[in-house]
C-alpha cells in the first residue's frame, strides 16, 4: 500500500481504536477487528464507485463481515488498518530514497504513525525512553518522508526518506545501523564491519 505524504490520518485512530485499544488483527474472533474490516470493505467499495461515477447498489452498502475474507480485505482494501502488536507498536523500516540502503529499524505507535503522515517527517516510539521520538530533532538528521508504504498484512511500515544534516542515522554516527555483515565459517558466525561504514561523527 502506498500512502501519499500529508494525507489525513484521522482514520487510524477512529477505525482502529474502540474503547481505547488497538484492533487485534491476529485474532479472527476479535469483534473490533471484524468491525474494522467491514468498515474497510465499505470504504473501499465507496471509493472505487465514487471514482468511476457509479451509484452504490443497496447490496454493497453494508458488506457482510461473515462473508468477507479478513486476510483478503486487509491485503486488497484501500483503508489503512495497521496491525499494531500486543503493546500497540508496529515495526518501521527506513531506507534511503536515492540509494535504497536500509538505514534503520524502529517502532511506531498510532500517534507516531499519525504524526509521520501529517508532517511528512519520520516519528517513532522510543522503547527505551518510552516516549515519542522525532528523528533528527536534536541531531539535525531529520528524515523527510518521500514515500510511505505498508506491507501486505499491514503489520510493517516502510519509509523511503531523504536525510538532512550530515546524513547520519545510527546513534554510532554512521549513516546506517546495518554496518556489519554476518560471516559464516567453521568456527561459527562472526561479524565483519563494512569498510565504507565509518562514523560520520561521534
**Binding-site residue ranges for Zn(2+):** 152, 170, 177
* Euclidean distance between CA atoms 109 and 107, whole angstroms: 7
- As given in the structure block, the three cell numbers for residue 51 are 471514482
Give helix then strand counts, H and E, for the chain. Answer: 4, 11
Q: Which residues are annotated as a binding site for Mg(2+)?
A: 151, 153, 155
Q: Which residues are annotated as a binding site?
A: 151-153, 155, 170, 177
Distances (CA, A) of 8 to 19, 32, 113, 176: 22, 22, 11, 30
Q: What residues have CB less than 8 Å from 159, skipping those under 6 apart?
A: 92, 93, 94, 95, 116, 122, 143, 145, 147, 148
Cell 510511505 locates to 148
Which string of DSSP letters, residue by residue, matches 150-192?
Answer: E-TTS--EEEEEEE-TT---STTS-S-S--EEEE--TT--EEE
Amino acid at each position: 500500500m502506498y500512502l501519499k505524504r500529508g494525507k489525513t490520518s484521522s482514520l487510524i485512530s477512529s477505525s482502529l481504536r474502540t474503547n481505547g485499544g488497538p484492533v487485534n488483527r491476529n485474532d479472527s474472533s476479535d469483534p473490533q477487528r471484524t468491525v474494522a474490516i467491514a468498515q474497510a470493505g465499505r470504504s473501499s467499495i465507496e471509493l472505487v464507485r465514487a471514482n468511476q461515477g457509479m451509484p452504490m447498489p443497496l447490496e454493497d452498502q453494508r458488506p457482510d463481515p461473515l462473508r468477507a475474507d479478513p486476510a483478503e480485505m486487509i491485503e486488497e482494501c484501500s483503508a489503512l488498518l495497521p496491525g499494531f502488536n500486543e503493546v500497540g507498536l508496529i515495526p518501521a523500516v527506513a531506507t534511503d530514497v536515492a540509494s535504497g540502503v536500509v538505514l534503520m529499524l524502529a517502532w511506531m505507535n498510532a500517534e507516531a504513525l499519525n504524526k509521520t503522515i501529517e508532517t511528512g517527517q519520520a516519528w517513532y516510539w522510543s522503547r527505551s525512553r518510552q516516549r515519542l521520538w522525532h528523528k533528527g530533532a536534536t541531531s539535525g538528521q531529520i528524515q523527510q518522508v518521500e514515500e510511505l508504504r505498508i506491507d501486505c498484512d499491514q503489520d510493517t511500515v516502510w519509509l523511503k526518506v531523504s536525510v538532512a544534516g550530515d546524513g547520519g542515522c545510527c546513534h554510532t554516527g554512521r549513516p546506517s545501523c546495518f554496518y556489519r555483515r554476518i560471516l559464516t565459517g567453521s568456527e561459527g558466525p562472526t561479524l565483519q564491519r563494512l569498510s565504507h561504514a565509518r562514523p560520520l561523527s561521534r
